[in-house]
Amino acid sequence: GRCRLLCKPSALAQHLVRSLGQSAALRRGHWLWPHWPRLQVLQQLLQLPEPEPAVARELLQLPDTGLVALDWLVGPRGARSGSGGGAPSSVLLLIPNAAGKVTGGLLQLGLRALERGFIPVIFNRRGHNGCPLTTPRLQPFGDPGDLQEAVTYLRCRHPTASLLAVSEGSGSGLLLAYLGESGSSSRLAAAACISPIFRGRDWFEAGMPWLYEWPLLLHLKRGLSRYAGSLAEAVDVDRLLGSRSLRELEEALFCRTKSRPTSWEAYWERNEPLRDADEAAVPVLCLCSADDPVRGPPARSLPLELFRSSPYFFLLLTPRGGHCGFPRRGPGRCWGHEAVLEYFRAMAEFLRAEERRKGLPRPR
């Protein structure tokens, strides 16, 4: 009742309004700590899911011999899980924030998806979350090259399943850049962004609440310190590990390099998440809160005109929910997860109806 869906009028938009309007998650939303969104941020970063999921890791080698890691969620730790019979499940690609921090919220979303028949898999960038760094290069904020390789691999491994993607926080910059750059060749059926960062440069320059920035900064430094020797040939490691903000660390990694230094302005010309947004051809639900202390005030951080003009972008805006929090009492503590999974269900229902209406064969 307190959520608004901002989008360009279309048949799909009408279908989503009906489906989300009937969602029990949105109708029964109860916000904990409604006036303390920063505490919601801290809880979201530190709290682990119950039960903790079991993960099977797979390393994917890239054309330049770099590695990314795919973590397949196979069920709660200590429990046996299996997929039911019938039609192939949808593969749900989970993209953590730009620091590579796999939060309890992201794992909880994966477990909820697993219970509903999805095949959830977490995408870990080079050097993130224990993924070995085999080249002195990490993935820039909005460079979708490695993600494209992972999507191609998932399509080959599960050729008959629908491929979906959901990102969390600053990780949405990568997903949005991928959707814009790949256009109609993205291989995705639908995507969702939870508390996305739309304007990367503005976000880094504005700074973030220290409750959010310092845990992520320490998380990044701890991971990068393992590869200080190999990174030394590409960047100034002392400057990197001495960074006092995420902006300083981003500049040390990608702008002040030893081989190809570049300016902060030129870096963002190539890495802004929405630089090719007009080319996106996949429905994207962006779940945002007006009191998000990390993204910033809605007036300057939400690209409202994009949602009014593009038939593929949908903004589900709620007055409260913090950053990737959207808490409620009882089981399934994040009602935002339920909204995202309901969105994917509604999208599949709409596409099936369109195929029947047009008499189109299902893609092989």
Q: Are 93 and 150 in contact (CB under 8 A)?
A: yes
Q: What share of the chain is helix, strand, coil (3-state, %, to 5)?
A: 40, 15, 40
Q: What does the chain come to in residues?
A: 364
Neighbours of 128 (CB within 10 A): 24
Calpha distance 192→203 (Å, rounded)? 20
State how beta strands 190-194 and 284-289 pair: parallel
Calpha distance 10→312 (Å, rounded)? 10
For the sheet containing 4-6, what is the strand order? 4-6, 313-318, 284-289, 190-194, 163-168, 91-95, 119-124, 67-76, 53-61
CA distances for 307 relative to 64, 260, 277, 286, 313, angstroms: 37, 37, 11, 10, 5
The catalytic residues are 292, 323
